[in-house]
């Protein structure tokens, strides 16, 4: 005898109760220009801001290493929530090209930040990447090079002016649906 399948459910309106204690918008405690900011807005299919999205960021350090191979307690992980206008702001270091445990570069991957998006109405997280403009490795990155130029453009952050903090600012919007929908990958 088998039981019927349980229906899928969204995370619901109370997801923040169990997750806000893990929130932190800073991956870098590095002062001044060594740190960068990644800012953007999460919007729905109608272009309205998503004011209750949770974003998780995972990345290598500036040398391309992931924990536990990093120095100084680098976690490579941050979780934050959009504000009342659907905006987010991450302070981090610009990642280096990802490296394997023996120090060799991984399959020509370009420096990037992996992002998971959770929001009302989603049955599972959405996964995307933030790439940086002007990186020579962008051309050979396996994920980026598999896409058309229009779709590649949607994954590369726009460099903005240096902020008041002296940090380089990058802008990356997440469009959950619509004409400019962000490229999403299968969750790993």
152-168 pLDDT, tens digit each: 999 999 999 887 778 89
- Cα–Cα distances (Å) from 179 to 2, 45, 145, 174, 175, in that order, read 43, 8, 21, 12, 9
Domains of the chain, first to last: 15-175 (2.60.130.10)
Each residue of 179-188: pLDDT tens digit? Answer: 999 999 987 6
C-alpha dist (Å) from residue 103 to 19, 81, 98, 139: 34, 33, 9, 21
Confidence of residue 177 (pLDDT cuts 50, 70, 90): very high
Which pLDDT score is estimated for 97?
A: 87
Whether 64 has a pLDDT exceeding 80, the answer reads yes
**Distance, CA of 21 to CA of 38 (rounded, Å):** 21
pLDDT at 127 over 60: yes
Say how many C-beta atoms besides its own lie within 10 A of residue 102's C-beta.
6
């Amino acid at each position: 005898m088998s039981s019927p399948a349980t229906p899928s459910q969204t995370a619901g309106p109370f997801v923040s109760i169990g997750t806000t204690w893990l929130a932190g918008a800073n991956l870098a405690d590095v002062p001044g220009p060594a740190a960068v900011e990644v800012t953007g807005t999460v919007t729905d299919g109608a272009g309205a801001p998503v004011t209750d999205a949770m974003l998780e960021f995972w990345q290598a350090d500036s040398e391309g290493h992931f924990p536990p191979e990093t120095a100084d307690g680098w976690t490579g992980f941050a979780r934050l929530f959009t504000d009342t206008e659907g905006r987010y702001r991450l302070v981090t270091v610009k990642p280096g090209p990802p490296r394997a445990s023996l120090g060799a570069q991984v399959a020509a991957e370009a420096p990037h930040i992996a992002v998971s998006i959770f929001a009302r109405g989603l049955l599972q997280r959405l996964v995307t990447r933030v790439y940086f403009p002007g990186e020579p490795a962008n051309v050979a990155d396996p994920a980026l090079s598999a896409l058309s130029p229009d779709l590649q453009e949607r994954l590369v952050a726009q460099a903005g002016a240096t902020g008041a903090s002296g940090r380089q600012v990058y802008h990356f919007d997440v469009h959950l649906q619509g004409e400019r929908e962000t490229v999403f990958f299968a969750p790993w």
